[in-house]
Amino acid sequence: MTAESSILIAIILPLFAVPMLVMSSSRPNQRERITLVTAAVTFFVIGSLFDDVASGARPTLTLGELLPSLSITFTLEPLGMLFAGIASSLWIVTTIYAIGYMRGHHEQNQTRFFVCFAIAISSAIGIAFSGNLLTFFIFYEVLTLSTFPLVTHSGTESAKRAGRVYLGILIGTSIVFLLTAIVWTYNVTNTLDFTEGGIFGENVSVGVMATLLPLYIFGIGKAAVMPFHRWLPAAMVAPTPVSALLHAVAVVKAGVFGVLKVTIYIFGIDNLVALGSSAWIQYLAAATILVASLVALSRDNLKARLAYSTVSQLSYIVLASLLGSALGTLGGAMHIAMHAFGKITLFFCAGAIMVASHKTEISQMRGLGRKMPITFFCFLIGSLSIIGLPPFGGVWSKWYLLLGAADINEVIFILILMISSLLNVAYLIPIVIRGFYNENLEIDQEYPSKTHYTENRRLLDPGDAVANNVWRVRGFHEAPATCIGALSFTALGCVVLFFYADTLFRFLHPIVSGGAP
């Protein structure tokens, strides 16, 4: 199997699963087996490409012209490889998690869920492998459309409204800003290929570039730079596996991945430095980091808090890509991986809590850690990785980000990153503390006892369908085994990434230096 055919297979394979999933809609076990097998094979195919890319090869596959001299092209390079690897590996984990979650939660329309999921993953891989902006744009839009039914999965009024915000912002920004920017870029450069060192030559004026940059940054709405971030919290009405894989990994990472691609391969890092006017977007990204963290602090709903945390963390990467420093850019690229594992763990935990105890608000979670120790322990690991403490992966990406900011002598950004880390501590750690230390549910002050008695009775009622699906061993009350397995795995991933960060760094290094490390 050549690298070129592997590229195609990796993108098409999830789509092949779709008809099979539809056909087995009445047999959940078979349906989920299909998803798992597809996910595993996809991961294997993508994995088989790693060595090629690491050794400096850049296999390219062209699928024919969509417009004259503009074709659908896929090119492998380290950054895309990283993104595809993360998306496909976490797809397996999320599927395992979703089986427990969707059944435990008795969700409707599970087939549609798995189908849209497969399409979304396919388009995420398409984005990762895209060799030019046109290809990127196509898969970017497919990703938006295929995740819409996932966001509005419950079909309620609030889901519909959230869907409107989701689609309105993502489609709106992509058509108004991104498409214009792409056509304009094509107009001045006659190419849209992602090229090392950028495609803007001498003849492109600074003024044009300075106009295009914000068009790209805002146009890639999935990067959720304020003021175009509202879709991400809105998307939290989706079932938790969607929030976990798509709105902590695939969709949002597609956004920041796009920003990185544009800054590295369209503008070129050197050009960015010359582009003094990019400063105001840097400050906007910095402001997003802080403001989103502050909003996260004020959110009582766990998923909403995590969503704002994601908004903040995404802007780390946007900021990194705009610094114009090689180390900073690498830090941003690494943060894609580090944040993915950290945040998906947190979302898995939030979903596990929801399935096992029906609790969504942080204020209701007092003492819950004692009943769900594994979940809360993994939540702690994920939090520490997000905050950026050793021995968890998150520390490395922040480290390089800080180096990058130091590189260009921007003390203010160093300061902002530090403050943000403190804010991370402030909005994540209390959740764990609340979970482990407030033992007595019954004498809870904030919540009058009455609600809690009913809440508890519901949990312990043997006739409750949900309760049958959860672990209740020796007073523990954890979510279904598949959920626990998945979230332990990703938590472990945070630790593993700490020790293999150097490998990752070497693998990614060619994106800023060109050629092999």
Q: Are 254 and 140 in contact (CB under 8 A)?
A: yes
Q: In the stretch 41-70, what mask flags binding to another protein with x, by CB under 8 A?
A: -----------------------xxxxx--
d(CA 221, CA 228): 6
| CA atoms of 326 and 404, how far apart (whole Å) | 7
Which is closer to another protein, CB of 152 or CB of 293?
A: 152
Please give the helix or strand (H or E) that residue 506 lies within, else none.
helix 501-508
Sole window of 161-169, 189-197, 199-207, 467-475 interacting with another protein (rule: CB under 8 A)? 161-169
38/130 with CB nearer another protein: 130
Q: Give yes or no for residue 137 binding another protein (CB under 8 A).
A: yes
- In angstroms, the CA 410 to CA 418 distance is 13
The minimum distance between CB 266 and another protein, in angstroms, equals 17
Give dist(CA 213, CA 103) in Å, integer: 45
> Would you count residue 445 as binding another protein (CB under 8 A)?
no
Which residue carries 């427990």 as its tokens? 100
The set of residues, in sequence order, having a beta carbon less than 8 Å from that of 238 and lying 6+ positions away, is: 150, 151, 152, 153, 246, 247
What is the contact mask toward another protein in residues 208 to 237, using x (rule: CB under 8 A)? ------------------------------
Span near another protein by CB under 8 A; candidates 171-179, 361-369, 404-412, 460-468: 171-179
With vertex at residue 91, the alpha carbon angle to CA 90 and CA 97, rounded to the nearest 5 degrees, is 90
Nearer to another protein, 166 or 507 (CB): 166
Distance (Å, rounded) from C-alpha 419 to C-alpha 11? 40
Tell the smallest beta-carbon distance from residue 185 to another protein (Å).
10
Tell me the closest approach of the beta carbon of residue 221 to another protein, in angstroms: 13
One of 168, 214, 367, 485 touching another protein (CB under 8 A): 168
The residue among 184 and 436 lying less far from another protein, judged by its C-beta, is 184
For another protein, the closer of residues 111 and 456 by Cβ is 111
Asked if 8 interacts with another protein (CB under 8 A), we say: no
Helix %, strand %, coil % for the chain, to 5? 75, 5, 20
User: Segment near another protein (CB under 8 A), from 79-87, 131-139, 232-240, 391-399?
Assistant: 131-139
Residues with Cβ within 8 Å of residue 227, at least 6 apart in sequence: none
> Smallest distance from the beta carbon of 130 to another protein, in angstroms?
12
Q: Residue 422: how many CB atoms within 10 A of its CB? A: 10
193 beta partners: 132
Least distance to another protein, CB of residue 180, Å: 6
Is 138 or 426 the residue whose CB approaches another protein more closely? Answer: 138
Q: In the structure encoding, which two tokens stand for residue 25, read together? A: 């809609």
Contact between 160 and another protein per CB under 8 A? yes
Which residue's CB is nearer to another protein, number 137 or number 392?
137
Angle at 444 between CA 440 and CA 446, to 5 degrees: 155
Per CB under 8 A, the list member of 4, 52, 141, 407 interacting with another protein is 141
* Interface with another protein, residue 256, by CB under 8 A: no
Site for another protein in 64-123 (CB under 8 A): 64-68
**Residue 307: CB minimum distance to another protein, A:** 22
Q: 173-212: which residues touch another protein (CB under 8 A)?
A: 175-176, 179-180, 183-184, 186-187
Nearer to another protein, 213 or 362 (CB): 213
Alpha carbon of 241 to those of 149, 179, 305, 459, 477: distances in Å? Answer: 14, 30, 16, 22, 20
- 3-class DSSP assignment, residue 471: coil
Helix (H) or strand (E) holding 71: strand 70-75
Determine if 25 is a binding residue for another protein (CB under 8 A).
Answer: no
Contact call for residue 138 and another protein (CB under 8 A): yes
3-state secondary structure of 428: helix
Q: Which two tokens stand for residue 4?
A: 């070129």
Minimal CA–CA distance to 289: which of 247, 332, 244? 332
Give the whole-angstrom CA distance, residue 506 versus residue 330.
10
Among 8, 12, 171, 408, binds another protein (CB under 8 A): 171
> Torsions phi, psi of 73, nearest 5?
-125, 140
CB of 372 to another protein, least distance (A): 34
With respect to another protein, which residue has the nearer C-beta, 122 or 482? 122
- Which three-class secondary structure state does DSSP give residue 382? helix
Residues of this chain that interact with another protein (CB under 8 A) are 64-68, 134, 137-138, 141-142, 145, 152, 155, 159-160, 163-164, 167-168, 171-172, 175-176, 179-180, 183-184, 186-187
